Structure formats: structure tokens, C-alpha cells
A = this chain, B = another copy of it.
């Protein structure tokens, strides 16, 4: 289904803005810009090279500034923040939701954080400190303390009057009200759809729903996302260890988690961060990519060292040099298929102690069957190419060894890395390639040395 995401080459709004900027109509450009939704402004900023980005950022008014900052990719945001002074930052943070403010504050220098905390009233500050006490990637770090709570014994009529008093202070994405007891313990939810469809004389206790289980504050964000997906939630209550309601998580933040998880897996394979800014300055990008290239150079050098051990063999049979990349590369492909599947399984929480053994055996079987098929094909091609049955047999054997080992590594490696607390999405592919390159060259050239010379 997502095959056909459009290139959006004719993004007219962007084009019109460009036009206004190029013609120097800054006032008009500013108006066009601030009429956009903060999410759209953030998207626009992310799509611009650095120089233009800063020019556009200058045009964003204070009212939008804070929310735009919270919606930007980390890297773009940090860059813009680094160029703002304290008073601009204080102005931008005014009126933000507490969870957004918490996100932002974590990126700021400590001195500025203190100034922002000092500028808040006590209730607001305590709420912010509550969020900041949880790691960013947990339910506690995702939550917003601004929940609307009601007591079970009141009637819907009382609830309605309470809501009318709140009016514009009702937080966005409020689909349910939280029902708590006298001690603040979470009891259940009162969906707005229930509120508007039931008799106003009914009590909350009579009509509330017990279906929405509260999320403990220490759950990690991946687990929170799975809960939202499996239960089709829009918002969910968060509780502390004593079952007390301390906030709620809304779907917009969960969508960010899901988006980032997907990007993390995808970009991690190439050693990139999900926050990588496409329009970062050349030197910043170069430095960041250089590290990954360096790590991979080590892998390549190790593989070359293995080949170097067989110089004498290659000198006698040059065909080996011609064919050896095939063995290494097919192992890499087979291994990365298994690796990819396993990393996704881990992320979705589909891999448990119960099915790990089954999965390893299955991947071994798939790898073995495919190694037989393609080793056969390669054997025939190589045999005819160099007019030598032994070369064919040799490459077939080496390929079987490498593909089977690749399947095993592709399953076991990410599970082991995860248990060791190392991110498989980042470290998996380079470690796998090291194994498949070395085993590929070693088995092919080693067997040749043993049997052909």
C-alpha cells in the first residue's frame, strides 16, 4: 500500500512561499507562513536548506514558535534553539502543553531550564518536574499531566456543568474523562460519547467504562505504542506504582513513537539516526557519516586480511579471485533478510522465549534450502565458465556453508544484541556483514587451498 507515496514535486504552497521570498515580499511570506498549522510549518522548515531555514524561522511569530519547535525533528530543533537567546526561548515556551514543554526543556542548557522553571507557577512547575523525573522514552516521559478527572459518585449533569466552566481549557485530543476516587486512584474512563448519549441524572459510576486499562508510568514507549495500536486508543491514563492517576498519553505522541521506531530501524541499517537532517550542513553530515564508513572499513580490512592469507592460492588459480565476491555477497543478502525479519519481530514484541527456537530452526531450514538451490545454479555457471567441475563443486560447498551460517547469525545475533542491551537495528547489519564476508572468503579460499592445490 505505501508503494505510491508521491514525490509531491509540485508542492504549490512551498513554491508560492519561495516566490514570495525570492521577490523580497517578506511581510507577505510571513503572513502566508503563520497561517499554516504549526505541524506544516515544522514540515516546511525540515524541507529547506539551512540558510533558507533560518530566514523562514525568523518569520515565524511567537505564538506559533514554541509549538513548531516541539514538532521539529530533534536535529533541526537543536540547531534553531542554539541560535535563540534566553528571552526568545522563554517567549516560545509560554503556553505550551506540559508534555511538549518537557520535551523541549530536555534539549536546553541547564541554566535556561532553570529560568523556565522559575517562570512557571507552582502547579505548572510541579507537573513539569513530575514528567522530567521519568526517562523520555517511557510512558511517564510521554504523558501530559493535564487530565480532566471526575468522581464516580457525581451525576453526568454535574460533569457537564464542570466542562462548561472549563470550556477552552479542555486539553486537545480529549476523548475520555478519567474517573478517580478520593485518593486519586484510577478507576475507569467516561468517554465523551457516553456523556452525550446518557441521561444526565445517571451517575458516572453507572455509565463509566472499565475497558481502558491504565498504563504504568515505567512502561517503555514501544510497549505503549503496541497497546494503543492493539486497543485503538486515542488517549490512555497513566498511573504510578500505587495506581494513582498521574497523567494521560495522547495518540499524537504515540504516532511520533511509531514513526520514529520505523525510521530508526530503516535508517539504523545505514548507520544513520532517525533524527538525521536531510539538509544539515555539509561538514556536519560528513563528520557523522565518516564514523560509519570507518567502522565498515574495519570490516572490509578484516575481510581483505582473510583473502591475504590465501595469496599463494589465488596466484595459482585466478578464477578464485573472480568468483569469491559471489560467495560473500550471497551470504550477506541471505543474512540480511533473516536479520531484518528478526529485528522487526523484536520491535513488534512477537519474539518470545517460546518461539525463538522454532524461529531459528525455520530460518536454518529456509537458508539451507535456498543455499542448495542457488549453490546448484552457481556451480553450473562457474563450472562451465572456467571449464572445471571442481571449481563448481568448490563454490557450491562454500556458498552452502556461508548461507546456512548467515541464516543462523541473522536470527541469533539480533536476539543476543537485544539481550545485551545493544541496539540491533544499529549494530546488526555491520556485524552480520563481518561474519558473512569473513566466512564467505575463508570457506571458499580455504577449501580451495585444501582440495584444489
A303 contacts B by Cβ under 8 Å: yes
Those of A146-172 within 8 Å (CB) of chain B:
160, 163-164, 166-168, 170, 172
A297 contacts B by Cβ under 8 Å: yes
A259 contacts B by Cβ under 8 Å: yes
List B contacts of A297 (CB < 8 A): 326, 330, 374, 377-378
- Determine chain A's interface SS by DSSP, over half rule: helix
A266 contacts B by Cβ under 8 Å: yes
Contact A349 B11 (CB under 8 A): yes
Complex CA distance for A197 and B220, rounded to whole angstroms? 35
List B contacts of A84 (CB < 8 A): none
List B contacts of A315 (CB < 8 A): 315, 318
Instruction: Please give me the residue from chain B that is nearest to A382 by CB atom.
Output: B304
Q: What is the oligomeric copy number? A: 2
With A49-B355, A341-B276, A352-B11 in contact, do A5 and B261 touch (Cβ < 8 Å)?
A: yes
A358 contacts B by Cβ under 8 Å: yes
Complex CA distance for A264 and B4, rounded to whole angstroms? 11
Complex CA distance for A259 and B366, rounded to whole angstroms? 27
A260 contacts B by Cβ under 8 Å: yes
**Which of A56-64, A116-124, A279-287 lies at the interface?**
A279-287
Q: How many residues of A contact B (CB 8 A)?
A: 152
Instruction: Please give me the residue from chain B that is nearest to A220 by CB atom.
Output: B4
Complex CA distance for A44 and B12, rounded to whole angstroms? 45
Cβ contact of A374, chosen from B230, B290, B359, cutoff 8 A: B290
Complex CA distance for A61 and B147, rounded to whole angstroms? 37
30 residue pairs bridging A and B, Cβ less than 8 Å apart: A1-B137, A2-B264, A3-B426, A10-B352, A15-B352, A15-B354, A48-B355, A163-B193, A164-B196, A228-B255, A261-B262, A265-B266, A266-B343, A270-B340, A270-B341, A276-B341, A278-B344, A278-B350, A285-B366, A286-B365, A286-B373, A290-B370, A292-B333, A293-B334, A296-B333, A299-B329, A304-B322, A304-B325, A311-B318, A325-B328
